[in-house]
């Protein structure tokens, strides 16, 4: 009798989303497409519309979104290399807190914290 074969298709990590394209998960790719679509398509439609080529602007905008996804996925791939899961999301949140764009949620002061009241 032969021994059963080991299943090599099982994932190594179950606590993170699987990579789909250039190390990016589905939610990261969705964010790249939405950001690119909401910015690049209207800009290209406006620019090409001024030249009288509105339909060409839509096509150019969609091509720019594809390029944006490839470049953005490459940048995210470099940011994520050799770092723990969720590193760049935390880094981005901390930078946005520093700029005052979002409300601070993390304790970032270097001081002694007390957990109880004063005793006499």
- Domain membership of residue 49 (yes or no) is yes
Range of the domain at 74: 26-99
Q: Examine residue 76 and state whether it is found in any structural domain, yes or no.
A: yes
7 pLDDT more than 60: yes
Q: What is the reported pTM? A: 0.67
Has residue 74 been placed in a domain?
A: yes
> Is the pLDDT reported for residue 119 higher than 90?
no
From residue 104, alpha-carbon distances to 18, 67, 87 in Å are 30, 34, 17
Whether 4 maps to a domain, the answer reads: no
Q: Is residue 69 situated within a structural domain? A: yes
Residue 18 lies inside a defined structural domain of this protein: no
Yes or no: say if 48 and 57 are a contact pair by the CB < 8 Å rule: yes
Integer CA distances (angstroms), 81 to 3, 23, 49, 77, 87, in order: 37, 9, 41, 6, 10
Mean residue pLDDT of the chain comes to 84
pLDDT band (50, 70, 90) for residue 46: very high
Please give the residue that has the higher pLDDT: either 111 or 47. 47
Residue 1 falls inside a structural domain: no
Residue 31 burial (C-beta neighbours within 10 Å; 0-12, 13-18, 19+): middle
Q: How many CB atoms lie within 10 A of CB 17?
A: 12
Query: What's the rounded mean pLDDT across residues 16-30?
Result: 84
Count of structural domains, the chain: 1
Q: Is residue 94 part of a domain?
A: yes
């Amino acid at each position: 009798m032969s021994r059963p074969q080991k299943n090599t298709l099982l994932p190594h990590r179950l606590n993170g989303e699987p990579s789909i394209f250039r190390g990016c998960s589905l939610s990261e790719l969705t964010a790249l497409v939405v950001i690119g679509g909401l910015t690049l398509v209207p800009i290209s439609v406006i620019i090409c519309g001024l030249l009288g080529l509105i339909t060409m602007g839509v096509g150019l905008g969609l091509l720019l979104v594809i390029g944006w996804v490839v470049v953005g996925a490459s940048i995210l791939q470099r940011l994520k290399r050799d770092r723990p899961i969720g590193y760049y999301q935390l880094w981005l949140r901390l930078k946005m807190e520093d700029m005052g764009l979002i409300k601070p949620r993390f304790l970032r002061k270097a001081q002694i914290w007390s957990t109880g009241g004063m005793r006499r």
